[in-house]
Amino acid sequence: MTSRISAHALALALAATTFAPAAASAAPNEDSTRVTTSAAAAAQTPAPKSTGEIKPPVAEKRAHSYTYHGITIEDPYDWLYDKSYPEVNDADVLAHVTAENTYFEAKMAAQAPLTEALFTEMRARIKEDDSTVPQKDGDYLYWSEFEEGAQYRKHWRKAVAGGADELLIDENELAKGLEYFRLGAASISQNGRFLAYSTDTSGGERYTARIKDLQTGEHLPDELTNLRGDLVWVANDTALVYGPSTEEWRTLEAKLHVIGTPVDSDVTLYKEEDQSFGVGTGLTAQEDWLVIASGDNETSEVRLVPAANPTATPILVKARQKGVEYSVDVRDGELWVWTNDDHINFRLAKADLKTPADWQTVIAGSDEFYLTGFDLYKDFFATEGRLDGLDQIQLRQYAAPAKVTPITFPEASYTAGLSDNPEYDVAKLRLSYQSMVTPSTVFDYDVKTGGLTQLKQQEIPSGYDASLYVTERVTVAARDGTMVPVSIVMRKDRAAILKAAGIEGPGPLHLYAYGAYGYAIPPGFSTSRLSLVDRGFAYAIAHIRGGDDLGRRWYLQGKLFERTNTFNDFVDAGRGLIAKGYTAEGKVTASGGSAGGELMGAIINQDAQQYGAIVAHVPFVDVLGTMLNEKLPLTPGEWQEWGNPIEDKAAFAYILSYSPYDQVVAKDYPPMLVTAGLNDPRVTYWEPAKWVAKLREVKTDDNLLLMKTNMGAGHGGQSGRWNSLKETAEEFAFILWQMGMAPKPEAK
């Protein structure tokens, strides 16, 4: 629980201010607008006892259009966008969203036994009374745990010298009586006495921070509201640096709060004038410098200020240059820099703090090796990256940085990385590891001997036999000749399972991807995924362009005017897997969330007949409308990713050509489940609502189209591990039902 920053953590934090998945919801199948509790309760109409022949809601069409660059767009469902946002109180809007929820509950009622069965088996794979491996940070060991049946974690510490366990935070107590709860930042002061932490109780990702005196157990009167990002202790534990959120949900300042003083007297350490940039803060490896980073999705600018004197004049490392990203760390007064200034796959450099812009290469950029970050320690430094799409961890000595000590792992396909390593002076590194068949594993790596010690592997109480499964990595040719990797997991006895289920020919395959912001979907493990795989599904992750799975260029080939590569890659990956015999047309199911939900909208517009069922979570489907609305929280910062259709006619035309909402046409679409969050600040609720309304109007099939809106949650869906798992069970029940694999209801 420190605020020490890794070399690229700020870059990732700034990039996370996007239409990307919130928290951990990006992991495949694993896991602000405000509505008062009373309003949300009123809006949640109980599901009918009988499914009957309830008809889907039909949204009213109201004349509305807009014109840019001489092109007029008709948008008769614009009224679903409550113009009082971030408040949502329009009676017609709430009535329509509620009607969709009622329809969802009615149509899914017959699948309630299957949903419950899936939830029960998924829950049985989770160790309920589980805890993390304790990690030393200063004078204490820190860990967190779930108690049996609990929705949320408890966070603990114990003095290294001995003594009783000390409860720091009980999330279950903080969440009592709340429809939604998420713990945000948590930071222990350097002297170990104070804990600063923040919480979100709506899903709107606007956090409130409190400070707990760990000696007395009491909270200080200080309260910081409407903030985002980290809480960083400075000035010898007398002050906190934090990032307040603007009304538009943008973090444009780094502010200093001196403990015990009024919040309105807080000092602004840095204020960003460019509305498209975001600001983040952290400490360097030796915790002697405060890092203030500003940037968007493609450009960075960093300032340093002494942590002991945060109001001193900042050192500007290098002025922003469009397209140049960098992040920094400091060791013994020497500046280290990770940057893409002379190579697309980044290099590592260093400089004297007196001349911070004079970067001298330590590790040159490489066409083969994609350098994704670095961490500095007392006697060595570590780099992370990818080679041929697979994670790499390498250690180097300061005196001989060209000599590489790689950390090797046993499987041919896996995901691995540095884990929780809060201390600067360490002899062992904590690592995380998993594959599509190997559960999440924690290792300690002995830097001196090179030995790997397994500390823990995810326990699956209901049982798991890895030998029953096989994972493969294949490549499929996209239409432009690019070879797209696909990771697959399935049962070795899949054919027998399908035969026993009466399924002839190729079995079903679930295809997952994200494909945006350079976010790579790793070939990791999932316990919930087994509920499909054990029923004969193959489960595949398409490593499509738009992510950075194969390097930075892979990402750039899926953004701006090359965005459609992402959609083509996914469609062609599915077609390629059909050609290879893994599945057949109409037996591919697919899911994606946020920008991955946009992907779902694009692929069904392009090749609807390939898919047997689609699940689109909080889908970013009204791309054009959102990119034209600069009042929305994220829009200005997103123009570097998608283009600015307000000023650029070519960008307007290109986005219009693929924007899923705008490209809905009269044809057959596959069965679909769409989710939304009324409090979602990333993909606003009206995007999926408008999309579903338009699909209902024009689609020519009788396939089921459902939309579920969480009235008291945001981008990541419901909070709490069991609530979240129940939503995954609903998703899988929908998929199995639509693929004809749901148990027949018992006759009464």
Catalytic residue annotation: 594, 680, 715
Q: Of 748, 732, 729, nearest to 116 (Cα)?
A: 729
Residue 172, SS3 per DSSP: helix
Quick one: DSSP state of residue 547? B
Write 151-156 long-range contacts (CB < 8 A, 24+): 151/175, 151/719, 151/720, 151/721, 151/722, 151/723, 152/181, 152/183, 152/719, 152/720, 152/721, 153/183, 155/1, 155/186
Distance of CA 488 to the CA centre of its chain: 21
Q: 394, 406 in Cβ contact below 8 A?
A: yes
For 721, the enclosing helix (H) or strand (E) is helix 721-738
Distance of CA 624 to the CA centre of its chain: 22
- In angstroms, the CA 739 to CA 288 distance is 58
Burial class (CB in 10 A: 0-12, 13-18, 19+), 586: middle
- In angstroms, the CA 274 to CA 636 distance is 9
Residue 343, SS3 per DSSP: coil
Place of tokens 């000035």: 235
Q: 373, 417 in Cβ contact below 8 A?
A: no
The pair of three-digit structure tokens given for residue 487, joined into one six-digit string: 């990771």
- In angstroms, the CA 656 to CA 182 distance is 36
Residue 346, SS3 per DSSP: coil
Instruction: Tell me how far apart the terminal alpha carbons of the chain are, to the nearest angstrom.
Output: 56
DSSP string, 137-150: ETTEEEEEEPPTT-
Q: Of 570, 574, 578, 583, nearest to 537 (Cα)?
A: 583
The pair of three-digit structure tokens given for residue 309, joined into one six-digit string: 């004197």
Q: Of 348, 244, 229, 344, nearest to 291 (Cα)?
A: 229
The pair of three-digit structure tokens given for residue 631, joined into one six-digit string: 């009042």
In sequence order, the 6+-apart residues with CB closer than 8 A to the CB of 738 are: 589, 612, 613, 670, 671, 703, 704
Q: 119, 689 in Cβ contact below 8 A?
A: no
In sequence order, the 6+-apart residues with CB closer than 8 A to the CB of 628 are: 66, 68, 645, 646
Q: 720, 686 in Cβ contact below 8 A?
A: no
